[in-house]
Amino acid sequence: MRTPAALDVPVAETTITVRSPEIDSFGHVNHAVFLHYFEHARFEALEAAGFAWPLLQKNDWQIYVVRIEVDYVAQARRGDTLRIRTWADSFRRTAMVLAQEIVRDNGLEGPTVVARARVHAVWIGPDRKPMRVPEFVRAGLTGGAP
C-alpha cells in the first residue's frame, strides 16, 4: 500500500472507541466489524474533502464498493481507541481506490497498525451507469493534486 506521504495527499482521521457489542467470543473485535469502521471513516473522509452525503442524494449519485482488500495485523479489544486514517490512493475515469489503516495508540510504546484496507469504488450516476468521478471530489481527496 502506498503511503499518503509518498502520494502527497491529505489524510482524513476518524476516531472510534471499541464497544462491547463489537467483541466476538475470543475477546477481540470481530473481523467483520472492521468493515463498518472503514466504511464510517470513508464517509467522514468524503465529508472532510468537501463532499457531504446530501450531495449524493441531491444528484442521485451512488458509490458502489466493488472490492475490498483487508489485512488484519493486530487485534483490538473493548475500550481501545482506534484512529482510522483514510486517503486517496488512485483514480481512474469512473473509479477510485481509497487506502485506509486502523491504528491503536499504545501510549509510550507508540502506535500499532491494527488493519489496512484498499477499497475499490465505482461512481454511479442517475442513469445507474458508471459516471466520471466528479473533479471536485478528486481535488478534495488529493488536495488539488492531479
Instruction: Return the CATH number at 16.
Output: 3.10.129.10
C-alpha cell at 30: 470481530
Give me the number of domains the chain comprises: 1
Residue 108 binned pLDDT confidence (cut-offs 50, 70, 90):
confident
pLDDT in tens, 69-82: 999 999 999 999 99
The domain of 78 spans 4-142
For residues 6-34, average pLDDT = 89
pLDDT in tens, 121-136: 999 999 999 999 999 8
**6: pLDDT strictly greater than 70:** no
C-alpha cell at 140: 478534495
